[in-house]
Amino acid sequence: MISVLPRLYLGSATDAENPQQLHENGITHVLTVDSKAPTTLDLFKTKFVRLFDEACADLLSCLPECLNFVKEAHEVSESSILVHCHAGVSRSAAVITAYLMSTENLPFEDAYARLQAIKANVKINDEFVKQLELFEAMGCQVDMTCSIYKQYRLQKVTEKYPELQKLPREVFASDPSSLGQTAETLYRCRKCRRSLFRATSILSHVVGDGPAAFAHKKLNSATSALDLKKCTSYFVEPVQWMEETLLGVMDGQLLCPKCSSKLGCFNWYGEQCSCGRWVTPAFQVHKNRVDEVKAVQIRGIQT
């Protein structure tokens, strides 16, 4: 067990199984981030978060509850907290690194280096490193409405359900056609006017390298470099009307649920945008197949 900040300790399962040592260090709270819960902590306030130290593990979604527990304990002057996993090297180190990032306003690299300077054997696994970098990109919080987080969750779903026979309901955004009148910007089928998705369902991406990304293809001379830098499609999160189409299938067409006109395509392994950026997974709706509809307030009447 080692002190990272006053009243904040990083340790292992062995430390958590030693009540005498915990009392000597003034520990009142214990956060366990491991595959199994400890059994010797009846005299402490505890929280157990089940997480495996492996590439498919979803640390990012667990961070809010972990950080809230640490913050609640650490902000009380009479309390001290131990954060531990099995070895005190990866999972618990990742949580404490995230805590340093959020409370000390540190970028990931600085927070990680600071922790390694305190405990030399800390080695956060590569997948957790990527997730902490996403955490930094979201402003050191887990913003579930952010396109970065939505894209991340879709990638995790692909890993967890490789056959795609079952998908959690929370993966799918609400069908805007069932929501009634809304002030949100909607996108409708150009042919039949059926509402398809909201602006908040669009997953933005960094524009790619344009022609350089298509060096492997023989380009039509009529296709300009400027055209190849443009995004001609929207990449969106799955919407409820897509569910039947997506189950058990890795790729295919996206058709309007009302008139069956082709809107675009999907591929859980990803697709290349016209700008050259590869998007994974990809639910691609061509811009020329939909119309953007914005709510306008006119003399108190919404249209």
List the catalytic residues: 85
DSSP string, 141-164: S--TTSHHHHHHHHHHHHHH-TT-
What does residue 281 show for φ and ψ, rounded to 5 degrees?
-70, 170
Q: What six digits make up the tokens of 17?
A: 């199984």
C-alpha span between 79 and 72 (Å, rounded) = 9
Is the peptide bond between 238 and the residue preceding it cis, with omega within 30 degrees of 0?
no
Sign of CA dihedral 87, 90, 91, 93: positive
Q: What six digits make up the tokens of 27?
A: 């520990």
